[in-house]
Structure formats: C-alpha cells, structure tokens
Amino acid sequence: MFKLLPPATRAIIVATVAVFLLDQLFPGPAFNRLALWPMQTRLFAPYQLITYAFVHGGFTHIFFNMFALFMFGRALEDLWGARRFLVYYFASVLAAGLTQLAVTALTDTVYPTVGASGGVFGVLLAFALNYPRQRILLLFPPIPMPAWVFVTLYGIAELVMGVLGTQEGVAHFAHLGGMFGGALVIAYWRATGRLRRPFS
C-alpha cells in the first residue's frame, strides 16, 4: 500500500521517519539544532523554519502526523501534482514556524518546537476545501462527519486550547498558522488562476 502513495507524499513520510529513527539511534546535539528555537536564543537559525518539521518528540507524535499525511496528502497530490503539493506543504510548515516564532517572542518562552503538525494542518484545510463532503471517521469519538465539519471543529478546538493554554507543550497557534498559511496559498492560486493550469 505504501508503494501506491504518490511520490511527494511518500518522500516526505520517508524522510521524516528516517530523521526520527536516526534521532532515536544516535541522539545528540545535531538533531537538537534541527528543532525550531525562539529567535531570542542563540540556538535559532533560519533553516530551522523547515527542518523542525522532520523532528518529532516521540512515536505517538510522528505516528499521527504521518498517518494524517498518508490519509489526506495522497488525495491532494493526486489532485494537484507533486510539485504543487510540495510547495503547499512546505508553505504551511513555514507559516506555522513563523507563527510559533511570533508566539514565543510575545510570551518570552524559550522551548524548541518540533513536528510536522503545521504542514499537516495545512493539508487538512486543503482537503476540506477540495473534498468538503468527504466523510471522515474519527477514532474518538467514532462518529463519521463531513471533512469541512471535522476541520472547522478541529480549528476551533486548537484556538480555544491555545488561548486557554491547555495541553502544555503543544504548539496550538503553530497549527493554526499552518492552516492560515495554507489558506493564503490557495487563495493566491485561485486569484491568479494557477489551479487551472500546470504548476510552474
């Protein structure tokens, strides 16, 4: 089944899992420098706005992110093509990272951020916009619902948890930043007619 994935989605999953396994086998400062550190620290570097998406904090973290890419990324790549999907995914990752930098600067926090969740939330938004009536069955609660309902409720939940500060250690605003960045990309593509012609 994995071989049936389109190339860009497969490449992201393979690269992310490879980094995770290397980090588990050879833990050390090299992987710490791939995380996104706040700008007010000496550990921050611009490349981290992309590399943080390949680092994860544990098996559960990477499993759910890669499972979401497996489920929703392939549909978007089949619709858009590999190049457009890669641009969209990493634009969401970048937007999520910039949002997180703004949050850590405003709150004066110094913890690093890791994970592909920003890109995944962008993918979820795009899936809901392109396949709004596609039924999604959640693991908990096991209730099927249209994609647009699921993503809307998920976005509201992230906003509430971010404002209330629940689930310490989860970058809720980065998730929302990934969705917002993805929305801007889609709005630009639609306004310029790029979705109606091959990507270049």
Cβ atoms of 15 and 66 closer than 8 Å? no
Which residues, 6+ apart, have CB-to-CB distance to 54 below 8 Å?
Answer: 15, 16, 19, 20, 34, 116
Indicate the number of domains in the chain: 1
Structure-block tokens of residue 126: 């795009």
Which pLDDT belongs to residue 198? 63
Residue whose C-alpha is closest to residue 45's, from 23, 30, 58: 30
Cβ atoms of 155 and 176 closer than 8 Å? yes
What gap in Å lies between CA 79 and CA 40, rounded to an integer? 40
- Please give the average pLDDT of every successive group of 10 residues along the chain, which has 200 residues: 82 95 84 90 94 92 92 93 96 96 89 93 95 81 83 83 70 90 94 72
Residue whose C-alpha is closest to residue 110's, from 36, 45, 196, 182: 36
Structural domain including 176 reads 2-196
Cβ atoms of 34 and 48 closer than 8 Å? yes
Residue whose C-alpha is closest to residue 89's, from 197, 12, 2: 12
Structure-block tokens of residue 22: 């290397």
Residue whose C-alpha is closest to residue 37's, from 19, 158, 29: 29
Which pLDDT belongs to residue 28? 79
Which pLDDT belongs to residue 2? 60
Cβ atoms of 176 and 156 closer than 8 Å? no
What gap in Å lies between CA 130 and CA 79, rounded to an integer? 9
The CATH number linked to 55 is 1.20.1540.10
What gap in Å lies between CA 200 and CA 84, rounded to an integer? 9
Helices (H) and strands (E) in the chain, counts: 9, 2
